[in-house]
Structure 1
Amino acid sequence: MSTSSPSADPAPPPPGGVLWTLAGDIRGLLMLPAALTLQVAHPAVGAGVDEHSVFRTDPWGRGERSLRSLQLWVYGGEAAAEEGRRLRRLHATIRGTDTRGRGYHALTPANYAWVHATGFPVFHHAYRYLVRPVTEAQERRLYAEWLRVGRILGLRDRDMPATIEEFWPYYRKVLADEIEATAVVRELVATDSPVPPPDRGPLPLRLLLRALWPVLLPPLARFRRFLTIGLMPPDAREAIGLEWTEDQERALRRLGLVVRAVVPALPERLRYLPLAREARREHRARQRRLSRATRPAR
């Protein structure tokens, strides 16, 4: 696969945009399980993850790598496009047969675009619980920024709907024609799937977690299921066949009230993930330098 020259590389979303604020905020971590589950509800994507991913044997490492990759798309600057090329190289050999007996390739535009597309409806839905309902202007801006990230990942303009008006019919058609409760979906929402304890961090902490893991895992698994289903758009939830009760909805709204009150009050070092913090710090420094350079001399 050929790579573009740096001057031709697509640019990440701009500082100050919706994604600039959202992607690095710790509230984004709560949205990721729903987005991942909606991705793998597509038979081709689910089969690819089932057969080629290490999410069962190294869930924490895979999660860490995926999170860093996502941060680079938005905050990576010149490194964003190279991360997109790396992902395409990584997926170039992923192929097989899905649950409907159809051959698939990870980089087939319909499959690759769906993986990227799922983040938009999940973030759009979850934002109203964890931040605030998006305005029409924010919705359009978020989608435009989502398309910019798609170009970083190597998607062509024709691979994704060009406007928000075109996106929702596309999304609903995939839900109607393709989405199902794949084996990976069932694992991701199960509360009894075996998950090893975290293997990152200081040795004493890892040893403590290993000792307490049989006690910690069941409530963590239930909370993961609750967030995964609750922060998934209702039409996607219905297409997969995931149940959601009125009591659960009320609990999610209560959780949202707490999150909306607590997270904005946190200092930046706690509210934003490391790459986002560094990018925000560098952006402020550039703005100060620009301000000094353009200030009239006395």
Structure 2
Amino acid sequence: MTELSTRDAERGAEPEPLGPDSLTWKYFGDWRGLLIALWAGSMQNMHPGLGAGVEQHSRFFAERWQRLFRSLYPIGGVLYDGPRAAQTALEVRGYHDTVKGVDAKGRRYHALDPDTFYWAHATFFVSTILIADHFMGGIGEAEKRRLFDEHVQWYRMYRMSMRPVPETWEDFQAYWAHMCQNVLEDNKATRDVLEIGEIAKPPFLPWLPDFVWRRVRVLVARNFVWLTVGLYDEPVRELLGYRWTARDEARHRRFGKAVDAVFRLVPHDRRYHPRARAGWRRVRGALPPDAPLVQTPRRNLPPPAERDSPTHYSPRE
């Protein structure tokens, strides 16, 4: 049996979720991950199949904040739900069953195509590196290798084909470079992600007057896109037409260090998204092991007419 077929055969065994001893638990569920939200969304959408699926099937751009914040719950649950994480992973995979079609260039796509589905996961893996490296003090080569191994275990939770998954950290670096240089496209779905000049007021700022938000959001948008450009690989910057100077890089690093310094003052659990926070609390015994999973609050739910759609995470009240 070949190595690839051996890896696929392992899908028959119950996948083992990552736990609190993993670096992925430490980095992925941290609120600092919101700083790379534009990076993750744009990198995912530059994949031809994924971008077409978003353009033709998603209402993300009609409810940006709600979609972002509710998605964090099941995506994080694949890591932090403990014995229930395998079921969460199957639910996440199920949201993609009907996302398929033909793009504007006549290419067929399906969100569950192994290469497409793995690309989204690859961006989550690289997210852990970017969060740690830019906003949590930095990490070394040994930690990146460990995160690579953990991302393979994490991906097994979805019970997808392991065919697209690189064998080693070095293979992954070659895969990532190939995707950035030869596969990703500058498309409408990507530009829509990056166009946030008129984005609605965040739901976590209810106290901010609307007229104030309308005045500051252009500045916020400009700086958020700048922050995102600093996270791109150079071929992606060139693809999208962005410039990046040594001065930009120095400012970017200073900002990251400031974020890290501020978060060192935040209590451990408060650094994490509620789904991740509950995972940490369960393993410490602060919550019962079978405590109900934390679900997104009502304010983040899809519009009422779409809550029964198979493409949406929409927990029952």
Q: TM-score, normalised by structure 2?
A: 0.79
Partner of 2:294: none
Unaligned runs of 5+ in 1: 1-6, 287-298
Structure 1's consecutive aligned runs of 4 or more residues displaced over 6 angstroms after TM superposition are none
Question: For 1:218-251, what per-residue CA distance to the aligned partner results, in whole angstroms no more than 9, with x for missing partners?
Answer: 1221232122211233343334443323332222
Question: Any gaps of 5 or more consecutive residues in structure 2?
Answer: 1-11, 287-317
Map 1:20-99 onto structure 2 (within 5 A): 20-99=25-104
Q: Is residue 189–residue 228 contact of structure 1 (8 Å, CA) maintained in 2?
A: no
CA gap of 1:98–1:244, structure 2 versus 1, over 3 A, is: farther
Is residue 2:286 matched to residue 1:281?
A: no
Deviates more, 1:72-81 or 1:269-278: 269-278
Whether 2:17 is the aligned partner of 1:12: answer yes
Using the alignment, how far apart are the partners of 1:239 and 1:84 within structure 2?
33
Is 1:96–1:104's contact at 8 Å kept on the other side of the alignment? yes
1:154 to 159, 166, 170: 159
Q: Are 1:174 and 2:190 an aligned pair? A: no
Whole-Å separation in 1 of the counterparts to 2:62 and 2:210: 16
1:106 Cα offset (Å): 0.8
Going from structure 1 to structure 2, the CA distance change for 1:53 and 1:61 (only over 3 Å counts) comes to same
Mean CA deviation greater in 254-263 or 264-273 = 264-273
CA contact (8 A) 2:24 2:128 kept: no
Higher helix proportion, which one? 1
Give 1:285 shift: 2.6
Determine if contact 2:78/2:89 at 8 Å carries over to the other structure: yes
1:158 alignment partner, SS class: coil
Pick the aligned partner of 1:145 from 143, 150, 162.
150
* 2:129 corresponds to 1:124: yes
**Cα displacement string for residues 90-139 of structure 1 (whole angstroms, at most 9, x for unaligned residues):** 11111122343311111111111111112233432443221233222211
1:255 matched to which residue of 2? 255
Shift of 1:171: 1.6
Which residue number corresponds to residue 214 of structure 1?
Answer: 214
Q: Secondary structure at the match of 2:285?
A: helix
Using the alignment, how far apart are the partners of 2:128 and 2:235 within structure 1? 14
- Residues 156-193 of structure 1: CA deviation (Å, up to 9, x unaligned): 2223112112111122222222112111211222353x
Whether the 8 Å contact between 1:122 and 1:232 is mirrored in structure 2 is: no
Number of the residue aligned with 2:190? 185
Deviation for aligned residue 1:211: 4.3
Aligned-partner SS, 2:201: coil
What is aligned with 2:115? 110
1:195 matched residue in structure 2? 199
CA spacing shift, 1:191–1:254, aligned 2, 3 Å: same
- Name which of structure 1's ranges 44-53 and 242-251 shifts more when overlaid on structure 2: 242-251
Displacement of 1:280 after TM fit? 1.5
The amino acid across from 1:268 in the alignment is H
Once the two structures are overlaid, the 10-residue window that deviates more, 57-66 or 245-254, is: 245-254
- Alpha-carbon separation, structure 1, partners of 2:128 and 2:269: 23
Identity, % of aligned positions: 34
Deviation at residue 40 of structure 1 after TM alignment: 0.5
DSSP 3-state at the match of 2:101:
strand
| Letter paired with 1:106 | A
Identify if the C-alpha distance between structure 1 residues 283 and 8 changes in structure 2 by more than 3 Å, giving closer, same or farther: same
Distance, in Å, in 2 between the alignment partners of 1:127 and 1:99 is: 37
Amino acid at match of 1:272: Y
Are the equivalent residues in 2 in contact too, given 1:20–1:74 (CA < 8 A)? yes
Please give the root-mean-square deviation of Cα atoms over the aligned residues, in Å: 2.3
Deviation at residue 42 of structure 1 after TM alignment: 1.1
Q: Which moved more, 1:249-258 or 1:263-272?
A: 263-272
Encode CA deviations 1:25-61: one digit per residue, 9 max, x unaligned: 2222212321221111112111111111111111111
Matched residue type, 2:193:
L
**Match of 1:197, as an amino acid?**
K
- Whichever residue aligns with residue 35 of structure 1, its letter is A
TM-score (norm 1): 0.83
**Which residue pairs with 1:266 in the alignment?**
266
Q: Is the 1:95–1:105 Cα contact (8 Å) retained in structure 2?
A: yes
